[in-house]
Amino acid sequence: MAQPYAHPAQPGILFRDPAFLAQVPLSPTTVSQYFSLSPFFARSSTNEQLRMQSLAEPDGGARREPRELEEALRRFRGTEFVVAHAAPQPPPGLGLYVIHQRERWGPAREQTRLVDAFFCLDGNIARAPDLYAVVGNRVLAAVTAIQSSLSLAHDALPPFDPRAGFGWRIAALEDEDEADSEDEATADLGSGADAGAPERIAQPAPAKRRRAQGTAASNGTA
């Protein structure tokens, strides 16, 4: 029976070879050859032994279907790399491929142990995280968000009133302060406009009216 995954270390290494991808599109038959260029590949693996024995073939035995590669590796003992999942997507070269590193000690599939797992996504190869790391990161993110929310709620906690208890103010104090400052500014502008208005000055009477008033005054004197 196949052994469970052993939770290896998770170094942050990402491999990509643009020169290879420009010449050879990724597919289920070429992803093993592309993976052999990465630092995750072991030169002491049975895949390398199979490649050395197949140098007389037209393509050097580098391009094989996943099932054909796994069948050819059954006669070896040691570390092997097999394509466990292939999901190519158009255009050519894109898709997801999962590669398993296994330790084999017999020809049967049950006589293998999963050592490590890698994925190739659109030409980028990296070590796949295990379930423990994924769940741990999600739990840490959730706990951090809850802790931040509780800290904000604690800072906004109002003082306790024996009659009413804790009374939460929904509106922020900053909004009320801004509204008060706007009202004061409006009042200042109104008072400034009244104080700065020019005073009305009595205009002198027309010349005819002054002469008529002068004539009436002289007649009265006489």
pLDDT tens for 109-160 read: 888 999 999 999 999 999 988 788 888 888 999 999 998 888 887 777 777 7
Question: Does the domain made of 14-129 have the CATH classification 3.30.70.20?
Answer: no
pLDDT for 6: 46
pLDDT tens-digit series, residues 46-78: 999 888 887 767 666 667 788 888 888 888 999
**CA 57/CA 67 separation, integer angstroms:** 18
Considering Cα of 105, then 108, then 113, then 119, what sign does the dihedral take?
positive
All residues at 6 or more sequence positions from 51 whose CB lies less than 8 Å from its CB, including other chains: 36, 60, 61, 62
Q: What is the pLDDT of residue 160?
A: 74
Q: Where are the domains of the chain?
A: 14-129
Cβ atoms of residues 81 and 32 within 8 Å: yes
Neighbouring C-alpha atoms within 13 Å toward the C-beta of 98: 10
Which of the pair, 5 or 199, is modelled with greater confidence? 199
Q: What is the pLDDT of residue 149?
A: 86
- Give the pLDDT band (50/70/90) at residue 3: very low
14-54 pLDDT, tens digit per residue, is: 999 999 999 988 998 899 999 999 999 999 999 998 888 87
E strand residue ranges, the chain: 14-15, 78-89, 94-104, 112-121, 124-127
The string of pLDDT tens digits covering residues 83-118 is 999 988 877 778 999 999 999 998 888 889 999 999
Residue 137: predicted pLDDT: 86
Band of pLDDT at residue 5, cut at 50, 70 and 90: very low
The DSSP bridge partners found for residue 78 are: 104
